[in-house]
Every structure is written in C-alpha cells, then in structure tokens.
C-alpha cells in the first residue's frame, strides 16, 4: 500500500511539473504584457533619462546592455538602436515568447546575444566592469538573495554605467493594501512583497534616483506601488 502511495505522489509531482512547464510561461506572458502595458509612458521617460546618465567611454548607439530576468522580453523597444544586448534569466521556460519579442523588435537593429541561463546572484559568465547598463524589471521580488544580486549588478557595470529598474513593492502607506499583500504572498510562489526602496538603497551606487508610480486600474492595484529609477556607478574607480 505504501509503495502505491509513493508512486501516486511521484506521479502527482511529475504532473504538476509538466503543468507548470506548459501553462506557467503562458500565464506569466499574459500578466507581464498587461503589467508593462500600463506603464509604457513611465518606462519610456525613465529609460531615456537613465541612458542619458551613462558616462562610460562607449558611443550611445553601441551601448552594451545586460538585462536580467529577461522573461518574455518586454523592454527591447526602449533600448537605443544598435545596442549590444546580453540577456540572462534563471530559466529558459519563456524562450518562445522571448524569441517572438526579439523578432518583433528587429527594427531597433539590436545585437541580441543568446540567452544565458544563470541566477542573478552569481553572474559568472559576465566580466567585471563590462556593461554600460544593467536592466532589471520585476526581478528582485523573486531572487534568493537581493543583496548579492545588487552586488553583482554593481560588479559587472563599467565605471559610469547605469542600472535601470522597475520593481513592485510592499505598500507602507496604504495599510489595507499592505495587509492584503502579506496575506496573498504565500500564494505567489517565489514572488515576495518587499520594501523595495529599502532594498534598492542597500546597493553601492554613487547616485540613486528612486521614483514611485501608482497604477490606477483596480485589477492592478495589488502590485502598487511601482518603484522605479536608476543607479549610477562612480566613474572615479
């Protein structure tokens, strides 16, 4: 009897893994497209402002950009034409949607490298002081160690380079929303509601610009506030 139960449990675990592999990328693609579509204007302004702050010796049209937690590829349209893009994620589950996004952004003439499957806490394939910009959107909520991720981002940036971010945050102003966020957090898998301003301020950036955006759509209110901005690595290193 015990053997039968163990076999059934094993089959259930396998079935859940298959279901997640098949349906989770589709679900996340839908959610991410909806979420990003609500902040296009804010994203455009922030990317433009952040890219203008880059003080490396690289020409603007040839920037070397690392995007972490690339997911389904929602940011290509905001990158300067001709940029060299290194893409990294801890999984390749979203590769079909990512390839579709790459195809749809050919007009940007981006030089997009093959996906590096690696955790952001240990970017062993990325050289120190090699990137003009590092981009992460809705990433820090789901990593194992955000302190180590921020340290790695700082390491791979060139002096004068810029980290550009959009993250959702725990709401420390709206008490009701904060309570709801903490109640549903156990149901969100690896995604956590963190005090994102505090998280970002724990990095080493010489200049850190943090702004906040509140999405008005009622069905998106649970992820408010959106914390975004950029950090600049010191030039005189």
Contact by Cβ (8 Å): 94, 72: yes
Quote the number of domains for the chain: 1
Q: Of 135, 82, 86, nearest to 110 (Cα)? A: 82
pTM of the model: 0.84
The boundaries of the domain holding residue 157 are: 1-233
The crossing angle, in degrees rounded to 10, of helices 40-52 and 2-37 is 80
Written as tens digits, the pLDDT of the chain (237 aa) is: 555 445 554 554 454 454 445 445 555 655 666 777 778 899 999 999 999 999 988 877 789 999 998 877 889 889 998 899 998 888 777 677 777 777 777 667 788 887 888 888 989 889 999 999 999 999 999 899 999 999 999 999 999 999 999 999 999 999 988 988 888 888 777 789 999 999 999 988 999 999 999 988 776 788 899 999 999 998 876
CATH of the domain at 103: 3.40.50.150
């Amino acid at each position: 009897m015990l053997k039968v139960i163990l076999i059934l449990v094993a089959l259930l675990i396998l079935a859940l893994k298959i279901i997640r592999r098949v349906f989770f990328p589709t679900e996340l693609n839908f959610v991410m497209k909806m979420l990003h579509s609500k902040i296009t204007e804010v994203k455009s302004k922030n990317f433009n402002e952040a890219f203008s702050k880059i003080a490396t010796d690289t020409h603007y049209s040839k920037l070397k950009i690392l995007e972490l937690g690339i997911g389904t590829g929602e940011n290509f349209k905001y990158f300067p034409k001709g940029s060299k893009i290194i893409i990294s994620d801890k999984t390749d589950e979203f590769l079909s949607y990512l390839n579709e996004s790459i195809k749809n952004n050919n007009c940007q003439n981006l030089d997009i490298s093959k996906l590096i499957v690696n955790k952001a806490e240990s970017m062993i394939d990325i050289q120190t002081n090699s990137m003009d910009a590092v981009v992460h959107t809705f990433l820090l909520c789901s990593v194992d160690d955000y302190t180590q991720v921020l340290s790695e981002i700082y390491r791979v940036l060139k002096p004068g380079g810029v980290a550009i971010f959009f993250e959702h945050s725990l709401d420390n102003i709206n008490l009701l929303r904060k309570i709801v966020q903490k109640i549903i957090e156990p149901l969100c898998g690896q995604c956590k509601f963190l005090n994102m301003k505090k998280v970002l301020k724990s990095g080493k950036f010489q200049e850190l610009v943090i702004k906040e955006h509140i999405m008005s759509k009622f069905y998106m209110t649970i992820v408010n506030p959106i914390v975004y901005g950029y950090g600049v690595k010191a030039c005189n290193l």
